[in-house]
Chain A
Amino acid sequence: MAIKVVKPGLSTTVQDLGRPGYYHIGIPISGGMDRFALCAANWLVGNKEDAAVLEATFLGPELEFTSDAMVAVTGAELPPKVDGQPRATWTTFKVKKGQTLAFDFLKAGARAYIAISGGVDVPVVLGSRSTYTLGALGGYQGRKLAAGDELPLGPGGDSAENRTVRAPLRRAAASPAELRMMPGLYWHRITEQAGQLFFGDTWKVAPEADRIGYRFRGGTSLDFVPREPPFGAGSDPSNIVDACYPYGSIQVPGGTEPIILHRDAVSGGGYFMIGTVISADMDLIGQLQPNATARFTPVTMEQALAARHDREKLLNEVRESL
Chain B
Amino acid sequence: MNSRYSFGGDEHIFVECDEAMSLEAFFKSLSTTKAVRSAQIRGVTEICPANASFQIKFDPDIIKPDDLLRELKAIEVAAGGGHSSLKTRIIEVPVLYNDPWTHETLMRFRDRHQAPDMTDVEYTAKINHLDGVDGFVKAHSGAPWFVSMVGFVAGLPFLYQMVERQRQIQSPKYLRPRTDTPKLTVGHGGCFGAIYSVRGAGGYQMFGITPMPIYDPNQEIKYLKDFMCLFNPGDIVKWRPIDRAEYDQTVADVEAGKFTPRISNVTFSLDEFHADIDGTNAKLTGALYGH
Contact = CB atoms under 8 A, between A and B. Distances in A.
A231 B165 contact: yes
B31 to A, nearest CB: 15
Contacts of A246: 8-9, 11-12, 14, 55, 57
B120 interface: no
Contact of B217 (A135, A247, A308, A312): A135
Contacts of A232: 20-21, 51-52, 190-192
Interface stretch (A18-26, A152-160, A161-169, A170-178): A18-26
Interface in B1-42: 6-12, 14, 16, 18-22
Interface in B153-192: 153-156, 158, 165, 172-173, 189-192
A304 B9 contact: yes
Contacts of A267: 48, 151-153
A181 B152 contact: no
A256 interface: no
Contacts of B57: 20, 23, 246-247
Central interface residue in A268, A277, A304, by most chain B CB within 10 Å:
A268
Interface string A256-270: 000000000011111
Contacts of A233: 19-21, 190
Contacts of A147: none
Q: How large is the interface on A (under 10, 10 to 19, 20 to 34, 35 or more residues)?
A: 35 or more
Contacts of A135: 153-155, 198, 215, 217
Given A231-B22, A234-B190, A270-B189, A279 B9 contact: yes
A24 B12 contact: no
Could you tell me the dominant secondary structure of chain A's interface residues? mixed
Contact of A184 (B6, B11, B45, B60): B6
Contacts of A312: 61
Given A234-B173, A268-B149, A301-B7, A23 B46 contact: yes
A122 interface: no
Interface string A268-281: 11100101111100
B154 A241 contact: no
Contacts of A248: 8-9, 11
Contact of B65 (A235, A241, A244, A301): A301
A10 interface: no
Contacts of A185: 6, 8, 14
B20 A244 contact: no
B88 interface: no
A317 interface: no
A278 B198 contact: no
A27 interface: yes
A75 B21 CA distance: 44
Interface in B210-250: 215, 217, 228-229, 231-233
A171 B18 CA distance: 41
Interface in A242-259: 242-244, 246-249
Given A269-B152, A308-B60, A24 B48 contact: yes
Interface in A134-161: 134-138, 142
B156 A26 contact: yes
B144 interface: no
Interface of B: 6-12, 14, 16, 18-22, 45-55, 57, 60-61, 65-66, 149-156, 158, 165, 172-173, 189-192, 197-198, 200, 215, 217, 228-229, 231-233
Pairs A-B, 7 closest by C-beta atoms: A232-B21, A246-B8, A276-B9, A244-B55, A267-B151, A230-B20, A135-B154
26 contacts: A20-B46, A20-B57, A26-B151, A26-B156, A26-B197, A134-B198, A135-B153, A181-B9, A184-B14, A231-B191, A239-B190, A241-B20, A241-B51, A242-B149, A242-B152, A243-B50, A243-B52, A244-B14, A246-B14, A249-B8, A267-B153, A270-B189, A275-B9, A278-B9, A301-B65, A305-B65
